[in-house]
Amino acid sequence: MTAPDDAAGHVVLVGAGPGPAGLLTAEGAKWLSRAKCVLYDRLVGRDVVQLAPASAERIPVGKRPGGQSVPQERINELLIEKARAGGVVVRLKGGDPFIFGRGGEEAEALAAAGVPYRIVPGVTAAVAAAAHAGIPLTHRRIASTVAFVTGHEDPDKADSSLDFRALARIDTLAFYMGVGALRATADRLMAAGRAGDTPTALVENATSPRQRVVTATLATAADVAEREDVRPPAIVLVGQVAALHGRLAWVGRLPLSGRTVLVTRARAQASRLAERLGELGAQVIEAPTIEIQPPASFDTLDSELRRVGERDWIVLTSPNGAVAVFDRLAALGFDARALGRVRVAAVGPATAEALAQRSIRADLVPETHTTEALTDALLAAARPGARVLLARSDLAPADMAERLTGAGMEVEDVTAYRTVRPHRLPDEALQALRAGEADWITFTSSSTVENFFALAPNTDLSAVKAAAIGPVTADTLRARGVEPAVTVDPHTIDALVEGIAAAETAR
């Protein structure tokens, strides 16, 4: 088979891993970034699907237990149709395509149709579930063999192909989709000679913030699963290694394990905050209260950027401003050389980092990351008569420009981007608030506070802890009757995350 190119239609069967985008392979992410069309399973993480280009067609084809499903034959037809239309077609399959994922059937259909394809392996559910439960599938002293077993065979098969006598002799057994048939499976294993006191673990929602591990013995596992209401998706691990969960479990020890945090930042900015919270075990729900949009007209900004080299200072009060300015410079055919001797001031480390990603080093970053502190620093660093370009949000207050102008500077205050309130909050966020499932809500500016209450005017936050990135945001919350549980200094995302974690640890 010749190597396919992106213009000629071909299919890439990508193992999406157990859910989180962090467990998708780099190879899988590469092909996903080039996709013209993506067909994805139900359990594939939303953040994985979002790695596809915005222009990519997205088609959900996942199986839903007890609900409507796209027949496998139709999935095969769609893959062939989309590939023949041209471009990269990515089939995102939970876990690994060739482990209980019907990837083999799809590859057979593509081969029979003469459609070029390739396979990208993924982290299969049993490996991920065991790792996140602190259960080694193999162990030099107690487990030298491991088997992956389906707990849900093809219903059209006349007889089971599972040899329980052989399975009973394998050190570690990992049953996929095994909760529904757990009682029958345990009975057959014990009848084949496996001891009833064999340690058994049920890992529900593995690798997600909702992960739960329930332990039992082989003889009691079905009763425990019913009593604890263990539901799919779950992996059943049978073997002496399951007893190590109590000593090696690490997820539950993370400071934000079991906590749900709502993030109100604009979606484009939320990734770092969500990532840091997730690393500490939190379930993160994005509830963006701001959308970042270009100015209604680029005329004024373009005019200033074409002669930006005539300025003494360019002042950026947010990462959004830094991105907007240098993206617009590029659109006008310029690069960093257009700045010449212009000095650059940034309100804080996040803005400085956004500049550094464009090979621009900020000349001035105040110790306190507020516009007031930045204004004070500029008044100390810039001479009277200095020509200053402020490139910021359309909603930026006039105080900064007025103070600089009052000190004798020539100030041009232009809109680099607009901050717009979305039409509504995501359903997932509203449901979490109404059901009392949200533990924390983060606010990174006064605008996020005002927009949140405009979008959810009757929401009671008395049972939710609010975290504010700085004193101005905290004061805006207090004006709304909410006393922030955390206000951080320095006013950075990392400090905000650390403040929430410290508050949880101190409980």
Q: What is the DSSP string of 208-248?
A: STT-EEEEEETTTHHHHHHHTT--SSEEEEESGGGGGHHHH
Say yes or no to pLDDT of 261 above 60: yes
- Kindly tell me if the per-residue pLDDT of 1 is higher than 50: no
Q: Which residue among 392, 420, 448 closes a domain?
A: 420
CATH of the domain at 68: 3.40.1010.10
Predicted local distance difference test score (pLDDT) of residue 4: 54
Do 442 and 406 share a structural domain?
Answer: no
Domain end position, chosen among 364, 398, 420: 420
Residues 90 and 199 placed together within one structural domain of the fold: no
Q: What percent of the chain has pLDDT over 70?
A: 96
Same domain? 100 vs 173: no
- The pLDDT, as a whole number, for residue 272 is 85
> What string of DSSP letters covers 252-282?
GGSTTTT-EEEE-S-TTTHHHHHHHHHHTT-
Catalytic machinery residues: 41, 63
Q: Is 60 exceeded by the pLDDT of residue 163?
A: yes
pLDDT tier, 2 (very low <50, low <70, confident <90, very high otherwise): very low
Q: What is the pLDDT of residue 382?
A: 95
Q: What six digits make up the tokens of 49?
A: 């699907």
Domain assignment present for 407? yes
For helices 349-356 and 319-331, what crossing angle results, to 10°?
20
Q: What would the pLDDT profile of 380-430 be if each residue is shown by its tens digit? A: 999 999 999 999 999 898 999 999 999 999 999 999 999 999 999 999 899
85: containing domain: 10-123
Residue entry with tokens 């050389």:
337
β-strand partners of 12 = 90, 118
Look at 59-68, 212-221, 305-314, 338-347 and tell me which has the smallest mean pLDDT.
59-68
Alpha helices in 357-445 (DSSP H): 371-381, 399-406, 427-434
d(CA 192, CA 262): 49
For the chain, how many structural domains are there in total?
4
| Distance from C-alpha of 346 to C-alpha of 352, rounded to nearest angstrom | 6
**DSSP readout, 424-485?**
S--HHHHHHHHTT---EEEE-SHHHHHHHHHHSTT---TTSEEEESSHHHHHHHHHTT---S
Q: Would you say residue 3 lies in a domain?
A: no
pLDDT tens digits for 112-133?
999 999 999 999 999 999 999 9
CATH code, domain carrying 430: 3.40.50.10090
Tell whether 280 is covered by a domain: yes
pLDDT band at 65 (very low <50, low <70, confident <90, very high): low
Is 485 a member of any domain?
yes
Element at 413 (helix H, strand E):
strand 410-420
Per-residue pLDDT, 212: 94
Structure token digits, residue 33: 């970034």
Domain's final residue, options 72, 99, 123: 123
Same domain assignment for residues 28 and 119: yes
Q: Of the candidates 346, 354, 416, 405, which has an alpha carbon nearest to the alpha carbon of residue 374?
A: 346
Residue 159's pLDDT band (cuts 50, 70, 90): low
pTM of the model: 0.79
Reply yes or no on whether the pLDDT at 471 is more than 60. yes
Sheet holding 291-293, edge to edge: 291-293, 410-420, 387-393, 313-316, 343-346
Q: For residues 147-167, give the mean pLDDT.
A: 77
2 within a domain of the structure (yes/no): no
pLDDT of residue 258: 87
Between CA 217 and CA 177, with CA 258 as vertex, the angle to 5 degrees is 45
Partners of 393 in the β-ladder: 417
- Listed in sequence order, the residues at least 6 apart from 321 whose beta carbon sits closer than 8 Å to its beta carbon are 351, 391, 392, 393, 416, 417
Helix (H, G, I), strand (E, B) or coil at 33: helix
Give the pLDDT mean for 287-297: 94
435 inside domain: yes
User: What pLDDT, on a 0 to 100 scale, did the predictor assign at position 369?
Assistant: 86
Q: How many other CB atoms are there within 10 angstroms of residue 320's CB atom?
A: 23
pLDDT score, position 5:
61
Is the confidence at residue 192, as pLDDT, over 70? yes
> What's 169's domain CATH number?
3.30.950.10
Look at 458 and 488; give whichever has higher pLDDT.
488
